[in-house]
């Protein structure tokens, strides 16, 4: 027989275990555990009504109302949904907010249907606390930050490393006015959970891109952000033509591929145009009216040419966007932090090699430190 409870061990997430989240959909949307599937015990309306009953008449009355609302065919449908998932993933685990009543009821109903599965002790809250603690602990690991002008393919460099942490992927945003992803951005909680899940795989050195604390709608947790600010840096420098090609790939080609795949030709094209024109409009205050109008004209012409098969026409507005907006903004940030020391400044390939050298050196230093600690612990007492 399976145990009734399992401890909130992060190894469950590292193993990519499927989890049955029996909280209401509104709770799931606010943030779920990685690997969770929402198969609620109560829907949003039922949860709302039971909550009102609890406030007005107390716990016993709320439980009685819950038994009335989730009964008969409704109960049977929800148990069937859990069983169907468990047929596909027999080692799945159950959780609710605190590992209390809702997950216990789901577990009991499944047992009555002949299926024994454990629930997570402490539920969502305990697992989230453990994930957040992992992020805070990672701030003390060796961190290397990769900077550089827009279009220097810093994200690609991060992705080329086995210990790279792609914060933009966690946030589903490229970290700029034009960086919004076609799919909905994760909640702050889901961003942190994706970040924590990746950090479970990285117990040693971590390399990540130089980001502001805000990436789209997500905020990097403060403790980790302060760790990034203390970290050594390298800086990628590439010529304008090379960067322009990279920006064209990111902002036009890759974006169009995702929009077309998700929404089809006509709607995808309409939504992509809306996103790019809206992003340009949001820069009005920084660009100024005259410059914005010029870039908008160039962007409109580029879309017309793109419709005729010439996507390279977008370079007419992307090039001044780089040289007149992004580059001065980055250089201003460098001047504000002119005390920053860069371990290495060079082209993309040399920065990739420098990052790998740093990883090797940091890993060696960690092994040496662990060896000294073990030797010290083995010394006999006086």
Query: Which of 100, 131, 162 lies at the terminal end of a domain, its last residue?
Result: 131
> What number of other Cβ atoms are within 10 A of residue 353's Cβ?
12
260 shares a domain with 118: no
Task: Give this prediction's pTM.
Answer: 0.90
- Closest alpha carbon to 216 in 263, 157, 259, 275: 275
Residue 123 belongs to some domain of the structure: yes
In the chain, which residues have pLDDT < 70?
1-2, 337-339, 369-382
User: Which residues are part of the catalytic machinery?
Assistant: 96
165 shares a domain with 39: no
Taking only the tens place, the pLDDT of each residue in 93-115 is: 999 999 888 999 999 999 999 99
- Axis-axis angle for helices 289-307, 265-281 (nearest 10): 160
pLDDT reported for residue 341: 83
374 shares a domain with 236: yes
Count of the separate structural domains present in the chain? 2
Look at the block and give the residue holding tokens 């198969």. 39
Query: Which of 131, 152, 180 lies at the terminal end of a domain, its last residue?
Result: 131
CATH code of residue 217: 3.40.50
Residue 217 belongs to some domain of the structure: yes
Query: Which of 99, 131, 163 lies at the terminal end of a domain, its last residue?
Result: 131
Q: Are strands 143-148 and 233-236 parallel, antiparallel or unpaired?
A: parallel
DSSP 8-class letter at 311: G
pLDDT reported for residue 204: 93
105 shares a domain with 155: no
Residue 223 belongs to some domain of the structure: yes
Question: DSSP per residue over 198-215, as a string?
Answer: HHHT-SS-EEEE---SEE
198 shares a domain with 77: no
Residue 274 belongs to some domain of the structure: yes
Residue 55 belongs to some domain of the structure: yes
Beta-bridge partner residues of 236: 148, 346
174 shares a domain with 243: yes
Q: Are strands 143-148 and 164-165 parallel, antiparallel or unpaired?
A: unpaired
- First-to-last C-alpha distance (Å) of the chain: 50
Taking only the tens place, the pLDDT of each residue in 241-256 is: 999 999 999 999 999 9
146 shares a domain with 110: no
pLDDT reported for residue 374: 52
pLDDT reported for residue 332: 82
pLDDT reported for residue 372: 61
Domain interval for residue 182: 142-382
């Amino acid at each position: 027989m399976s145990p009734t409870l399992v401890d909130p061990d992060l190894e469950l997430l590292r193993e990519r275990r499927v989890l049955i989240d029996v909280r209401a959909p509104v709770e799931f949307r606010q943030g779920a555990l990685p690997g969770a599937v929402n198969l609620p015990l109560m829907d949003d309306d039922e949860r709302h009504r039971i909550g009102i009953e609890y406030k007005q008449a107390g716990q016993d009355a709320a439980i009685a109302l819950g038994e009335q609302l989730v009964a008969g065919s409704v109960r049977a449908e929800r148990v069937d949904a859990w069983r169907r998932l468990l047929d596909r993933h027999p080692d799945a685990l159950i959780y609710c907010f605190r590992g209390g009543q809702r997950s216990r009821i789901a577990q009991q109903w499944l047992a009555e249907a002949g299926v024994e599965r454990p629930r997570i002790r402490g539920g969502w809250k305990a697992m989230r606390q453990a994930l957040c603690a992992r992020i805070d602990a990672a701030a003390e690991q060796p961190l290397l930050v990769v900077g550089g002008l827009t279009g220097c393919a810093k994200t690609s460099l991060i992705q080329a490393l086995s210990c790279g942490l792609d914060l933009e992927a966690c946030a589903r945003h490229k970290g700029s006015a034009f960086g919004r992803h076609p799919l909905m951005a994760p909640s702050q909680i889901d961003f942190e959970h994706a970040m924590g899940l990746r950090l479970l795989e990285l117990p040693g050195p971590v390399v990540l891109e130089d980001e502001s604390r805000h990436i789209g709608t997500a905020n990097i947790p403060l403790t980790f952000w302060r760790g990034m600010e203390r970290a050594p840096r390298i800086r990628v420098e590439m010529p304008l033509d090379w960067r322009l090609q990279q920006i064209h790939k990111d902002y036009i080609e890759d974006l169009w591929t995702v929009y077309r795949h998700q929404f089809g030709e006509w709607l995808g094209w309409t939504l992509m145009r809306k996103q790019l024109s809206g992003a340009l409009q949001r820069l009005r205050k920084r660009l100024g009216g005259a410059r914005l109008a010029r870039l908008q004209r160039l962007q409109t012409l580029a879309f017309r040419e793109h419709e005729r098969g010439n996507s390279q026409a977008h370079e007419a507005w992307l090039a001044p966007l780089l040289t007149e907006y992004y580059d001065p903004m980055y250089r201003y940030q460098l001047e504000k932090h002119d005390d920053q020391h860069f371990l290495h400044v060079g082209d993309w390939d040399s920065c990739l090699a420098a990052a790998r050298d740093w990883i090797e050196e940091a890993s060696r230093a960690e092994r040496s430190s662990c060896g000294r600690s073990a030797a010290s612990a083995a010394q006999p007492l006086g």
